[in-house]
Structure 1
Amino acid sequence: MSEETAGPSDDPPVVLVDEDDVEVGVAPKLAAHRPPAPLHRAISVFLHDGAGRLLLQRRSDAKYHFAGLWANTACGHPAPGEDVEETARRRLAAELGAVAGPLRGVGTVVYEAADPVSGLAEHEFDHVLFGRLLGGVDPRPDEVAEVCWATPAEVSALVASRPSTVAPWLAIVLPLARRAISSPSGD
């Protein structure tokens, strides 16, 4: 069972943080997503193909919250003592069977979002990482319903025209990916 589809008996801890990303404790993952959700550390990863496109995933219908919505390449929560790059690589492998080249942090965001379907909520200090996909993907069906490649402009158009089909954090982290993909050091 994966981190994202874990049940109550398999509820990994997440790291609770303050507004400066300083650890203030830990909580079971599902408890950290019950309103009012405490601020906790998370990662969002965007992988690109070297041709200006970003890899998106549509979250599996088995996800515990925000199921079936389009999102960035991978997301997750660092375990206590785990750094954000380790988490990113772990989640890429677990969700997509994917391997990335060098990953670089491109910023952080703090956001809150409520899932009207599950009743759960997000309140995350999100570290956004960016890198290039090496090889292919082999999505796990309990994690990912489908994947697609899209330019940042196409992702922006999806967010604007069909917001009910995208995870709420996608619009928030997309500007960081747009800046990263257009930078000369692109990866």
Structure 2
Amino acid sequence: MPTSPAADRPRTPAADPSSNGAPAPILLELVDETGATIGTAEKLSAHLPPGRLHRAFSVFLFDTEGRLLLQRRAAGKYHSPGVWSNTCCGHPYPGEPPFVAAARRTAEELGVAPALMREAGTVRYNHPDPASGLVEQEYNHLFVGVVTAPLDPDPEEIGETAFVSPAELAALRAAGPFSAWFPTVLEAALPAVRELTGDAGW
């Protein structure tokens, strides 16, 4: 059953001391079609049409019953607000290894560290988001793993969480929107998901 995050945990974004306390601009790592780094770009600018190919990651965590942990993105997110998506996704800082970024961001968003997490390949896609007008041009590193500790989601990032079976996921997808990238990253991660969960219907 979906659950809402606690709203009483303070979060403070990193600030640039030279800009009167304003949050520092977030830079993404631009890559070529082989995944090699070619530069950096500010986060929002990289998502403006037609988009600039950049490094990203997507995490799929499961409980011990083989159910997938989903998150509904918070309503205040600038990109794809209020829609369901995979456990965690984001962008490494320039020079940050994708595995490290995935573990870091999972802890920041969900307040929990995976009990196990492993690489599950990469996928490259180009997904315009009709609702926002932004474009996801991403070289995405995939990770699958297991979570056993209680969740403590950041309410600024996550509106709800849910552990779902394959049948429950299908029903949820039929009932409402998911992130534009979700079908692509799920399909690409499925071989590793089935190995991790012993299939469990995935």
Would the TM-score normalized by the shorter structure come out above 0.5?
yes
Displacement of 1:117 in angstroms is 2.8
Q: Is the 8 A contact 2:120 2:142 kept in 1?
A: yes
Structure 1 residue 32 corresponds to structure 2 residue 46: yes
Q: 1:73 to 1:19 in 2, by over 3 A?
A: same
Secondary structure in structure 1 of the residue aligned to 2:116:
coil
1:166 counterpart residue number:
178
Aligned residues: 180
Instruction: Say whether residues 1:131 and 2:162 are aligned partners.
Output: no
Matched letter for residue 115 of structure 1:
D
Task: Report % sequence identity.
Answer: 44
Per the alignment, residue 63 of structure 1 pairs with 77
* Counterparts of 2:190 and 2:141, CA distance in 1: 15
Select 1:13's aligned residue among 13, 27, 39. Answer: 27
Q: Deviations over 1:99-141 (max 9, x none)?
A: 1023111121111222233222111011110111130111111
- Superposed CA deviations along residues 18-59 of structure 1, whole A, max 9, x for unmatched, are 111000110011110111111000000011002110100000
Q: Which amino acid aligns with 1:60?
A: A
Question: Where in structure 2 are the equivalents of 1:68-107 lying within 5 Å?
Answer: 68-107=82-121
CA contact (8 A) 1:56 1:71 kept: yes
Q: How big is the shift at 1:154?
A: 3.0
TM-score when normalising by structure 1: 0.88
Secondary structure of 2:172's counterpart equals helix
Residue 95 of structure 1 contacts residue 143 of structure 1 at CA under 8 Å; is this kept in 2? yes
How far apart in 1 are the matches of 2:165 and 2:41? 37
Deviations 1:38-88 (Å, cap 9, x if unpaired)?
A: 100000001100211010000001111111110000011011110011111
CA 1:70/1:185 → structure 2, altered by over 3 Å: closer, same or farther? closer
Q: Identify unmatched segments of 5+ residues in structure 2.
A: 1-11, 15-21
Q: Does 1:110 align with 2:124?
A: yes
1:148 aligns with one of 120, 138, 162 = 162
1:144 to 1:21, Cα distance in 2 relative to 1, 3 A: same
Provide the rounded CA distance (Å) in 2 between the counterparts of 1:80 and 1:106. 21
How far 1:2 sits from its partner (Å)? Answer: 5.5
Runs of 4+ more than 4 Å apart: none
TM-score (norm 2): 0.82
Q: Report the Cα distance in structure 2 between the residues aligned to 1:19 and 1:55, rounded to whole angstroms.
A: 30
Q: What RMSD over aligned residues (CA atoms) do the two structures have, in Å?
A: 2.0
Q: Which residue of 1 aligns with 2:195?
A: 183
User: How far apart are residue 175 of structure 1 and its match?
Assistant: 2.3
